Structure 1
Amino acid sequence: MKRLLITGAAGALGRAMRARLAPLAETLRLSDISDLGTAAPHEELVQCDLGDAEAVHRLVSGCDAILHLGGISVEDKFSKILNANLLGMYNLYEAARANGHPRILFASSNHTVGFYRQDQHIDTTAPMRPDGLYGVSKCFGEAIARMYFEKFGQETALVRIGSCMEKPSNHRMLSTWMSYNDFKLLIEAVFRAPMLGCPIVWGISNNDSRWWDNSHAAYLGWKPQDNAESYRAELDAALGRPDSTAPLAVYQGGNFVKDPIFPEA
């Protein structure tokens, strides 16, 4: 493709994907509200508040595809989540509608279903059970994407990311972990697919103890290569076995289920 837009490019996941995705497009347009550093020869850097509709329209113009990582990625005050994750999502989809419907990969979250127990195995037909305001914002994002697909034909992969990082840092992540390399392979599969639609995809590696069924998305041709099980002994030695009654060991959303609602003041 000629130009790939990555929102949230200054975040941890955006930084991890920045170099890995360079071969995917002639130009990477990198956007964030925070500092993006220095542009490489194949990069365009655009500072943008997702809550600013005009700025988002300019941001999307000329892009062939969008990797939407932008927004608040943890539990926070509703006003912050509202601007970045709700208003920002609407602005992005209106901008895409006005600019030729570039295909989108939306970084949704496992926290859309965080109140399921870890002994439950679910697929994408399971009702949403968000574990906080952040999870609710991702439910909203999935709903916006679905409406724009049904109404306007806007294709989006709704990727419910588990825990995408270099390696798992607790026992819950033995089920939720997705390696950087497997995420890269998923991004390539989403933008390569002749037809996408609007599928929900669980963003996890090929973990032995996974809770989520991805069989419905097999048509994408994505085959994750890594397995969190290889880190189990390391986690056992470093952390010991977790308390079996703690939220981190009971709920798929882990400690998010007990996080308080942040006050506005």
Structure 2
Amino acid sequence: MTESKVETVLITGANGGVGRLMRPRLAREGRILRLLDVVRPDPAAEGEAVELIEASVTDEAAMREACAGVDAIIHLGGISVEAPWSDILSVNIDGTRVVLEAARDAGVARVVLASSNHAVGFYDLDDAPADGLPADVLPRPDTYYGVSKVAMEGLGSLFHDRYGIDVTAVRIGSCFEKPWDRRSLWTWMSPDDGARLLEACLATPEPGFRMVWGISRNTRNWWSMEAGEAIGYHPQDDSEAFAAELLGDAVDDGPQGPEERLAGGKFCSTPLGEHQK
């Protein structure tokens, strides 16, 4: 795994699904993890150096305080499914603005934004070139949630161009311990590869604004790995290790129907603004 020179890293949404997976994998000697969430994160485990903050990314005063003395931010905080527009607007879009403004004011040099495949959810398998769908393909959001990720990327680009902050927007596929259905065999990013990607984002030497896919080196992948490899992300895991467990004796003819062929899967048919469980 690429070693980073970052000493203090603020992780928003640290108590969420991805945050909990990344926390132990990003802990290392000489690094302080400043963990922020609306639900107070757990106390330090063995080998961790952590600071705990119970706050919302929408709280401007709390974010200014949280960013003080920080070398980099991994912004995972927000609503992770479709929800009413007012909630998406407040937490995901305006919350990202609050984080980036606090980062700018505190002189934070580097920010990693947790974007999503749902920013480009309506791309079909047939839209992908032979070498895979590029990570910086133009937006085609599938939900209000997807729109919020497009806005997140736009804000990241703005704060790079205006203020020189290094920003990487990671279009995450599905980051869980293991894939759980046929479609996730295409979209999966293992937690270990997720940490490898975040370390690459923290260590890349040249400031810029970039988008990369957050996926593992899956046999069934149709999204390009090029942008990630350009910053030193070299995933090692493959969802194919779980294919037999998921598919059993079923005939496997590749992606079937819109849910498996579209980048956004079932989000492409989710009612806009509907709360998801």
TM-score past 0.5 threshold: yes
Once the two structures are superposed, the pairs formed by residues 18-167 of structure 1 within 5 Å of their partners are 18-23=23-28, 25-40=30-45, 42-121=49-128, 122-167=133-178
Larger mean CA deviation between 213-222 and 125-134 belongs to 213-222
The aligned amino acid for 2:210 is P
The 2-side partners of 1:136 and 1:25 are apart by 37
Deviates more, 1:110-119 or 1:130-139: 110-119
Would you say the 8 A contact 2:169–2:210 is kept in 1? yes
Q: TM-score, structure 2 length as denominator?
A: 0.89
Of 197, 203, 213, the match for 1:202:
213
| Aligned partner of 2:268 among 250, 253, 257 | 257
Offset at residue 31 of structure 1 (A): 0.4
Q: Secondary structure at the match of 1:199?
A: strand
Give 1:173's aligned residue.
184
Retained in 2: the 8 A contact 1:161–1:202?
Answer: yes
Q: What are the superposed Cα offsets for residues 40-96 of structure 1, whole Å, 9 maximum, x if unpaired?
A: 461111011111111111111111111111101111111221121111100011011
TM-score normalised to the size of structure 1? Answer: 0.93
Q: Is the CA contact (8 Å cut-off) linking 1:157 and 1:196 kept in structure 2?
A: no
Structure 1 residue 216: deviation in Å? 3.4
- The amino acid that maps onto 2:59 is D
Letter in 2 for 1:91: V
Aligned residues: 264
1:147-192 Cα shifts (integer Å, max 9, x gaps) = 1111111111110000011111111111110001111111111111
Amino acid in the other structure paired with 1:72:
I
Report if the CA contact (8 A) 1:242-1:249 is conserved.
no
> 231-240 vs 11-20, which deviates more?
231-240
Letter aligned with residue 34 of structure 1: V
Give the secondary structure class of the aligned counterpart of 2:10. Answer: strand
CA RMSD of aligned residues (A): 2.1
Q: Secondary structure at the match of 1:23?
A: coil
| Amino acid in the other structure paired with 2:63 | V
TM-superposed deviation, 1:218:
2.7
Identify the residue that residue 4 of structure 1 maps to in structure 2.
9
Percent of aligned positions that are identical: 41
* C-alpha distance in structure 2 between counterparts of 1:250 and 1:44, whole Å: 42
**Contact persistence 2:40–2:52 (CA under 8 A):** no
Give the Cα–Cα distance (whole angstroms) in 2 for the partners of residues 123 and 30 of structure 1. 32
Shift of 1:196: 3.8
1:108 shift after superposition: 0.4
What 5-or-longer segments of structure 1 have no aligned partner? Answer: none
TM-superposed CA distance for 1:262, in Å, is 2.7
Which residue identity lines up with residue 41 of structure 2 in the other structure? L
Counterparts of 2:127 and 2:173 in 1: how far apart (Å)? 16
The correspondence of residues 208-247 of structure 1 with structure 2, limited to 5 A, is 208-237=219-248, 246-247=257-258
Alpha-carbon offset, residue 128 of structure 1: 0.8
Maintained 8 Å contact 2:144/2:273: no
Structure 2: 5+ residue stretches without partners: 1-5
Deviation at 1:240, TM superposition (A): 7.4
Mapped contact 1:17–1:180 kept (Cα < 8 A): yes
- 1:35: how far off? 3.0
Q: What is the one-letter code of the residue matched to 2:57?
A: L
